[in-house]
Amino acid sequence: MDAPRKMERAEPESEPGPVQTVTVLYLAGMPRTGSTILGELLDRVPDVIHAGELVAFWRRYTQRELCSCGKPLPDCEFWSSVVSEAFGELPPGRAELFAEQERRFVGPKALRLLYSTRRAAGSAAARELFRERNRLYAAVSRVSGSSWIVDASTDPEFAACAAALGTAAIDIVHIVRDPRGVAFSWGKQVSSDSEPRDLPRLRADATAVQWMMRNLFVATVVRRLANRYVRVRYEDLVAAPELSLRRVAVAAGLPVPDPRAAVEDLAREPEGHHRISGNPGVRRRGNAVRFALDEEWKVGLSARDRLTVTALCAPLMTRYGYRLRTVRERKTR
């Protein structure tokens, strides 16, 4: 486990309104790896709020996607209070402008823009966006009364930009899962509960490539930029949630008075449930979170896809402790 590293942070430009530094536990890696489950577990710790996936907050806000409470984000009492706390009365078109700025810093294009030949212009645009994002984080902290915010966006490039620009104290929780399970999950048709369409799908080979690229980027680039770093396996999280919570808490300096109580509290709905996006089956309001290892891929993933994913991901699978050879289970009637 790595000790915290002191970093020099750029001074943000002055702007109206208070801006406070908050601690963000950013869950980074590949989607469909259990980030929503980990976020819900962390939310049961005192002084912590799991906000969901904030990387595309303004796109979701302007498109009136649903909060986990069931209301469109602009009509949700919590998120409307957050926006008001951070920016006051938004003038017409400002949310759309934020959404466009946000779009430029999602995925690999974020780093290309930040470190392009027009670095000054790119850095200025990046600083403008992440000043806004820091205000959003600070408002979430004030409205919820929590000092720690869990952002389960997983997008590693966005996390790298935020950490590099020093607009928030970013602690990285690198969550990984057996890529064969991830590939099977990405191949399934799943209805979204926040927007009127299904979740995106990917072929197994495309998922494997993304799994490798994202995890390598988190482990080599984001890790160096982050305030603190810890890696958690989905399989370990489900098998021993209390131990996984302790590891995250120790690495991030997060006070957890009673890890067992946090795990047991997952069976009850939290008082405030306002998550943005995430696993529909886990984030749904009123849904008790149960730790059950999802290994459906051992039955449902074809032999061809299994071999493809294993061949492409073998180096990191070995590093993360995953067995390369497994017996494909047969479906039971």
Enumerate domains of the chain plus CATH numbers: 23-293 (3.40.50)
pLDDT at 289: 74
Do 274 and 83 contact (CB within 8 A), yes or no?
no
Measured CA to CA in angstroms, residue 311 lies from 11, 299, 326 at distances of 45, 19, 13
Measured between alpha carbons, how far is 218 from 235 in angstroms, rounded to an integer?
Answer: 19
Measured between alpha carbons, how far is 160 from 83 in angstroms, rounded to an integer?
Answer: 24
pLDDT at 109: 67
Measured CA to CA in angstroms, residue 132 lies from 51, 95, 274, 277, 307 at distances of 16, 11, 20, 20, 44
Measured between alpha carbons, how far is 94 from 149 in angstroms, rounded to an integer?
Answer: 24
Tokens of 178: 């057996």
Q: Which residues of the chain carry a pLDDT beneath 70?
A: 1-21, 107-123, 166-168, 191-198, 280-288, 327-333
Nearest of 10, 58, 31 to residue 162 by alpha carbon = 10
The 3-state DSSP composition of the chain as helix, strand, coil percent (nearest 5) reads 50, 10, 40
- Strand boundaries in 53-204, DSSP class E: 148-154, 169-176
pLDDT at 282: 67
- Strand boundaries in the chain, DSSP class E: 23-29, 48-52, 148-154, 169-176, 228-233
